[in-house]
Amino acid sequence: MAKEFLLATGNPHKAEEFNELFPAEVLKIKSAPEKIEVVEDGKTFNDNALLKAKAYHDKFGGPVLADDSGLVVNALPEELGIYSARFGGDGLSDKERALLLLEKLKETEDRSAYFVCVLCFYINENEIYFFEGRVEGNIGTEYVGETGFGYDPVFIPTDGKDELTMAQLPEWKNIHSHRAVASRYALDFFQQS
């Protein structure tokens, strides 16, 4: 019998995305009835995923799935990571953030980076499971690609094709993204439990 989890977001498309990653007979992910504001003041991706999961569990009850993800750029160790969505300050679009990243790395040789996604499955206060997925790569020198979002148009995955950005590799991303990798680890765990 499938385990059901409420997704700690108000975005129904994200629930659909997870349901494409998990077989319905193992895990079912449903959208929360409403989005709640959670202060993400943790020091790690795990901390922030747990803060979201616990907040949704406290409000709606039952098992919750929360995720936290971001881009870690080795040349800018304190600027992105858990702050990826806030990089450059409030009011910037995804594209403006990506262009700012290109500008900051203009004179930098080390362009290595990785996307990370942490999934937190919060069943109750005694049963909390974390799964992490990563995609290694480099930051390109220009903004390229029409699909994806966030930093996808500037991120060139190491295991991708040629020098294409994540935004040029939608089929590849569906299988190899940081979220897909973390989801596979979670699926393996829940299929065995």
Segment (H or E) for 17 = helix 12-21
* Residue 29, beta-bridge partner list: 5
pLDDT tens column, 90-129: 999 999 999 999 999 999 999 999 999 999 999 999 999 9
| Single-letter amino acid code for the residue at 87 | F
What pLDDT does 141 receive?
A: 96
Residue with tokens 């995955």: 157
* Order of strands, sheet of 27-31, starting from the edge strand that comes earlier in the sequence: 27-31, 3-7, 64-73, 112-124, 127-139, 155-157
CATH architecture of 3-192: Alpha-Beta Complex (3.90)
> Which tokens belong to 23?
């077989």
Closest CA to 61 of 119, 8, 130, 140: 8
Which residues form the catalytic set?
68
pLDDT tens column, 129-161: 999 999 999 999 999 998 878 999 999 999 878
| Residue 10: pLDDT over 80 | no
pLDDT-derived band at 39, boundaries 50, 70, 90: very high
DSSP-derived 3-state class of residue 176: helix
What pLDDT does 148 receive?
A: 77
What pLDDT does 1 receive?
A: 77
pTM to 2 decimal places: 0.93
Q: What is the overall mean pLDDT for the chain?
A: 94
Domain boundaries, the chain: 3-192
| Residue 189: pLDDT over 80 | yes
**Cβ-contact 51, 42 below 8 angstroms:** yes
| Residue 36: pLDDT over 90 | yes
* Residue 115, beta-bridge partner list: 71, 135
| Residue 11: pLDDT over 90 | no
